């Protein structure tokens, strides 16, 4: 569906919202789906499957047991699970009480989670496989009560139940989640996501992308992540789709799951798509059911997109850009437009206002001129949990979010993402955007993934350094990579230093750690 055809309405605060985003809160969203599709399969995981009516009943039952534990409106409940039905039931049980979920990143060390649980002032930590032991360790260290799922995935089984509050205990402005950022630039911050943020973002994922009630959504990214929760799990509930919850990204498992469940839609990072295509089992796996092949964050390397077009001949491809602070997407491009604008992350969504601002003067940039991307809309968070200083730094009082990302807007409304402002390389007065160099490196047939940073240079101030990992069985020399870049980039943008690694260093959330890249590049 083209973004131009999506119906929006003006809300009480004067901003736009999707006409279909009618739910008052997440409890009402689930109740609506359970009424109209009660017998349909809601979610599937390694243990089995559950229908919509049963999913609602289980979440209500758990909510009653949590209420008997004293959990109520506004309380924070930390969650530490792998992808699966137990985690998803727990999320909606917490929301049923008007309480706030605090999804913990299961890839962190226990010692890294403890400050987050304390920062959220969690009243309880719920945990389950495969992270039950870690959950118990974190809770003990943080000094909060803990409840672990049993062998069947049930929480607080056999415990007494208390009466539930009215289902309208939460409204659109009520906080639904505190999502901690990855902390690549310092102490992790808890982004406060409201019921309204989730509802409006969900409409994006249904109406703009073109998801349907008969879709089977493959959820491979972690459900603790804003993409896995806000842009996959919540839309599954909103539209009454079926969600297949994959516990981990392993290419044989993902391929087998697509074929067995006839998955029609999924979201993967570009490197995940590469790994699927490189797996020897791909050629013998039936992936013809996939009709929406989505990715996010940055333009897709041209060579990879071409391979995907050949491999998924019946699929529509889409790219969404956003961040935790925007509850996932603020721009989107898909279908024919994506193929015509490979360097773009799309247009701002119908409910989203956007500015490109000169970070020095604070004035709006001219068409095509790069600046800082600012966004405002009903899916955008209003700030960080108990962190007024960080909130004031990024969130303006009139609702604008300063993203810290550099980009530009062309005459047709397409956004080109350039870089994080702090990562722009300043070489002898020239600004070099890492994304531009990375996109060229990704087109080299031997390159699996690449990242670019600036390193100090006595003559130029900074110079371009690339850190590259190759596809299995492939290789290239540093000179070959530089020569390849020289065919597509101005000479001053070509990496002077090239470091070859087995894999790029990433944090527990999967983001590339640029400080470590700078250390690697400086040492090479």
In CATH, the architecture of 3-409 is 3-Layer(aba) Sandwich (3.40)
Q: Give the pLDDT score at 4.
A: 37
Read off the pLDDT of residues 133-165 as tens digits, 9 standing for 90 and up. 999 999 999 999 999 999 999 999 999 999 999
- In the chain, where the domains are located: 3-409, 424-523
Read off the pLDDT of residues 474-513 as tens digits, 9 standing for 90 and up. 999 999 999 999 999 988 899 999 999 999 988 765 678 8
Q: Identify the CA nearest to 114 among candidates 143, 147, 83.
A: 143
Q: Give the pLDDT score at 186.
A: 54
The string of DSSP letters for 450-504 reads EEEEEEEETTTEEEEEEEEEEPTT----HHHHHHHHHTTS-GGGS-SEEEE-SS-
Distances (CA, A) of 132 to 69, 122, 150, 305: 20, 17, 10, 39
Where are any strands of DSSP class E within 342-414? 347-348, 353-357, 371-376, 401-409
Read off the pLDDT of residues 266-278 as tens digits, 9 standing for 90 and up. 999 887 898 899 8
Read off the pLDDT of residues 111-127 as tens digits, 9 standing for 90 and up. 989 999 999 999 999 99
Name the residue with higher pLDDT: 23 or 424: 23
For residue 184, is pLDDT > 50? no
For 424-523, CATH number out of 1.20.140.10, 3.30.300.30, 2.40.10.480, 3.30.2080.10 equals 3.30.300.30
Mean pLDDT score, 74-94: 98
Query: How many contiguous H segments (helices) and E segments (strands) does the chain have?
Result: 16, 26
pTM of the model: 0.88
Q: For the purposes of burial, counting CB atoms within 10 Å of the CB of 296, is it exposed (0-12), middle (13-18) or buried (19 or more)?
A: buried
d(CA 206, CA 510): 26
Q: Give the pLDDT score at 418.
A: 83
Read off the pLDDT of residues 54-82 as tens digits, 9 standing for 90 and up. 999 999 999 999 999 999 999 999 999 99
Read off the pLDDT of residues 370-395 as tens digits, 9 standing for 90 and up. 999 999 999 999 999 999 999 999 99
User: Peptide bond before 130: cis, by omega within 30 degrees of 0?
Assistant: yes
Q: Give the pLDDT score at 369.
A: 93
Q: Give the pLDDT score at 223.
A: 96
Q: Give the pLDDT score at 508.
A: 61
Mean pLDDT score, 183-189: 62
d(CA 327, CA 194): 9
Strand partners of residue 50: 43
Q: Count how many Cα atoms sit within 13 Å of the Cα of residue 505 in the half-sphere of its side chain.
A: 13
Q: Identify the CA nearest to 87 among candidates 29, 124, 129.
A: 129
Lowest mean pLDDT, pick from 92-101, 328-337, 457-466: 457-466
pLDDT-derived band at 2 (thresholds 50, 70, 90) equals very low
How far apart, in Å, do the first and last CA atoms of the chain sit? 48
Per DSSP, the three-state class of 255 is helix
Q: Give the pLDDT score at 509.
A: 59
Q: Give the pLDDT score at 397.
A: 84
């Amino acid at each position: 569906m083209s973004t131009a055809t999506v119906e929006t309405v003006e809300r009480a605060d004067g901003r736009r919202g999707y006409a279909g985003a009618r739910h008052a809160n997440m409890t009402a969203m689930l109740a609506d789906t359970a009424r109209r599709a009660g017998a349909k399969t809601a979610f599937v995981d390694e243990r089995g499957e559950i229908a919509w009516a049963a999913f609602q009943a289980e979440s209500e039952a758990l909510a009653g047991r949590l209420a008997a534990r004293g959990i109520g409106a506004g309380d924070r409940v930390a969650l530490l699970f792998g992808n699966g039905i137990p985690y998803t039931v727990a999320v909606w049980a917490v929301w049923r009480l008007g309480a706030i979920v605090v999804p913990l990143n299961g890839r962190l060390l226990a010692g890294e989670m403890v400050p987050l649980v304390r920062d959220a002032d969690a009243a309880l930590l719920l945990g389950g496989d495969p992270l039950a032991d870690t959950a118990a360790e974190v809770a003990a260290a943080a000094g909060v009560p803990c409840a672990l799922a049993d062998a069947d995935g049930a929480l607080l089984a056999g415990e007494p139940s208390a009466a539930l509050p009215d289902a309208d205990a939460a409204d659109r402005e009520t906080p639904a989640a505190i999502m901690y950022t990855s902390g690549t630039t310092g102490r992790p911050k808890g982004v406060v996501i409201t019921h309204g943020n989730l509802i409006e973002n969900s409409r994006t994922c249904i109406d703009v992308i073109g998801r349907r009630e008969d879709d089977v959504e493959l959820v491979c990214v972690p459900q603790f992540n804003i993409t896995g929760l806000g842009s996959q799990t919540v839309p599954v509930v909103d539209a009454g789709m079926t969600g297949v919850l994959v516990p981990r990204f392993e290419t044989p498992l993902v391929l087998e799951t697509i074929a067995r469940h006839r998955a029609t839609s999924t979201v993967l990072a570009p490197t995940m798509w590469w790994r699927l295509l490189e797996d020897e089992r791909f050629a013998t796996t039936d992936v013809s059911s996939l009709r929406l092949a989505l990715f996010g964050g940055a333009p897709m390397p041209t060579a990879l997109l071409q391979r995907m077009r050949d491999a998924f001949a019946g699929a529509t491809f889409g790219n969404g850009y956003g961040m935790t602070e925007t509850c996932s997407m603020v721009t989107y491009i898909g279908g024919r437009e994506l193929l015509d604008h490979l360097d773009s992350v799309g247009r701002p969504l119908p409910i989203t206002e956007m500015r490109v601002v000169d970070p020095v003067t604070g004035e709006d940039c001219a068409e095509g001129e790069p600046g800082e991307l600012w966004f405002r809309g009903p899916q955008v968070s209003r700030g960080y949990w108990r962190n007024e200083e960080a909130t004031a730094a990024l969130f303006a009082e009139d609702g604008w979010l300063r993203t810290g990302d550099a980009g530009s807007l062309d005459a047709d409304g397409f956004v080109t993402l350039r870089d994080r402002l702090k990562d722009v390389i300043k070489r002898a007065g020239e600004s070099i955007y890492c994304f531009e160099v990375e996109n060229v490196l990704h087109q080299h047939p031997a390159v699996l993934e690449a990242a670019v940073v600036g390193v100090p240079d006595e003559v130029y101030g900074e110079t371009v350094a690339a850190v590259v990992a190759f596809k299995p069985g492939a290789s290239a020399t540093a000179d070959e990579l530089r020569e390849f870049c020289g065919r597509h980039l101005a000479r001053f943008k070509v990496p002077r230093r090239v470091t070859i690694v087995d894999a790029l260093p990433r944090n527990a959330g999967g983001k590339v750690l640029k400080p470590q890249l700078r250390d690697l590049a400086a040492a090479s």
